[in-house]
Copies of this chain bind each other. A is one copy, B any other.
Amino acid sequence: MSAEPLSRPRIVAAAIDLIEREGADAVSMRRIAADLGVGVMSLYNHVPSKAALLDAVAETVLSEIEFTDDPGADWADRVRMQARAFRQIAHHYPRCTMVVVSRQLKSTAGLLPVERALATLRSAGFDGAEAVRILRMFIAYIVGSLLREVGVTPTFAPVHHLQVDAGKVDPVLFPETSSLLPELGVCDHDAEFEFGLELLIGAIASARGPRGR
């Protein structure tokens, strides 16, 4: 089918394609090989195992984040931009998001974002320990937001099914939930994400001020 030689990047790209087309459950070495028009075992010349391939998928998606950092800008603006850049994963590779988030990478693929975030927070006047703490908090919020956005987090947030079978939610047992079904049934992901982001940045900013820096 393709004249190009088999290579690790081409295999990873095929895997990402397959995941976006049919979901992570559809991934198999045999399927990817078929998509590339080669025998299964050919893959193993470039990738040691399926697990390693999925790690490579995660690393690649992570490394494709476009961080356009403006070191001259306000630290809060820089944090905003970095958080939004990270969130782009969910838009560019929605069905890979779970793969990215569920693989424990041991490479340095995700190190650049970390470096930038730490530098930004240090420039805002936080010491090392504070910067790490704050970074972890932002990552927790962002990762959790991505999972909701990608439609994976349980029972909470867009509950279209509940809206549809509104009768299923007993208004006596769950008065608040059933009265808020309209609100629970829709979710403006942009607005939702920005709301929490601003809240966190605001909280961080006022934590920085009072302590006097």
Please give the residue numbers on chain A whose beta carbons come within 8 Å of chain B beta carbons, in ascending order. Answer: 58, 62, 98, 100-112, 114-115, 118-119, 122, 128-129, 131-133, 135-137, 139-145, 147-148, 151-157, 161-162, 168-169, 173-177, 179-180, 183-184, 187, 192, 195-196, 199-200, 202-204, 207
Contact = CB atoms under 8 A, between A and B. Distances in A.
A104 B173 CA distance: 22
Nearest to A98: B102
B144 A142 contact: yes
Most chain-B CB neighbours within 10 Å: which of A111, A128, A135, A192? A111
A82 to B, nearest CB: 13
B136 A157 contact: yes
6 contacts: A101-B153, A136-B157, A139-B156, A140-B144, A140-B196, A141-B141
